Structure 1
């Protein structure tokens, strides 16, 4: 275990609170027949969680002194996309999960149809938020943000990774195959979170590249830790069922590397991620602490 500053926990908590308040405003209750799907959207989006992706948006944007309100809009929109993916991922046609973030999944609290619509609603609303001038006054910046999010969440990113995850060949993937799968399914939105801060801040090419590589490292480490938790943690710790992937016979980092080698690989990736931030010197300390948090988390 490595030392981690207590500052990261306070920063994560403060960011999560700000994102929660922003999501509450962006997804107001609707008292008409369609209000049921809005309630399901709110249930998913306001259901807690680490809010890691929004935090990465906020912290990378802060490196360039971006107006906080702009970064918060992008952070909330990205969290909508992440929450949509969780709602759909939990459906019987995918992972068939009953528990998410310590509470009933959307399709269990309502039904499959409402869960599908709630996910669709969150995804489309995210792009509406991105297109809003409140996100950034420069239309060119908004277009870059929208384009990047579309790629990260679509067939060349998260959706593509999910398709590989559902494929019959999933059980036979080698280490390179698992790495590519997770770079798409999990890593694409994490990478976008860091790149979005750079886009908002009109970063120099070398700064953008540094954040992108940092994100690739922590994204892969994040999934390795997820695989470790799937073997070692309890549902009470993680807030969701454990042993799912291994029980389904899916190829995982732990299955390929073993527990100790997988843990070592995650630590190597975290060290690499921190070195990517040298270009920002002391301004990036919270991002370094975030990398440590990722490898030490228990949920």
Structure 2
């Protein structure tokens, strides 16, 4: 690697190679680590927008030319992505996508298998499924049931092409849940089973997303180190008539999934315009 491609010192701009013009936004006095994070953000978006396991990224020089970045910034960006588990270096091959992230939209009520159509095979390991005669009050409150009312609980480990993706726990009113238990829990989304059991379409869902550190049990099932950050989604799904039908808790591997949505800014009231 030539000296022209090295940064000239902490917080200083890299000297451009002969005949190469680096855009001003990449040669500011910002620390190289900051520039590397910006490159990593761009590459991460490329990977999460459709890359598959085994795809090979362009070499560092080509990426630098595409992004208007120094090779040092590209190299550090790739190191960040390796630390995230998204890519690896293979001798004689280059930088390879290891575990692409898959998008799960939050602006449409859809099951995971439906969302991931075309990305691989989703399978469900049914870890438990049955009636809870005395569920916690917090569950019956969410489902707008009387205290102590029985509910059906279904816990499934979801896999994509054999690799763990999420741990999903659903609580359903007993009348509906018993009919869901008769369905193909290993092969189908719970949403579809609920619509068949009730003869009604789902209407809407309220959800909250936050990050938690995986407890040892959850980490073991998802095959991540204990304490790893995972997405925690709490979702209450209602039928089209407004009845709550599924109080769901999901734990999703953050290294395999991105959550996205299309949101719109409401038009301001006439008085404010």
Same fold (TM over 0.5): no
Tell me the TM-score normalised to structure 1 length.
Answer: 0.24
Higher relative contact order (CA 8 A, sep 6+): 1
Structure number with the higher strand fraction is 2
Tell me the TM-score normalised to structure 2 length.
Answer: 0.26
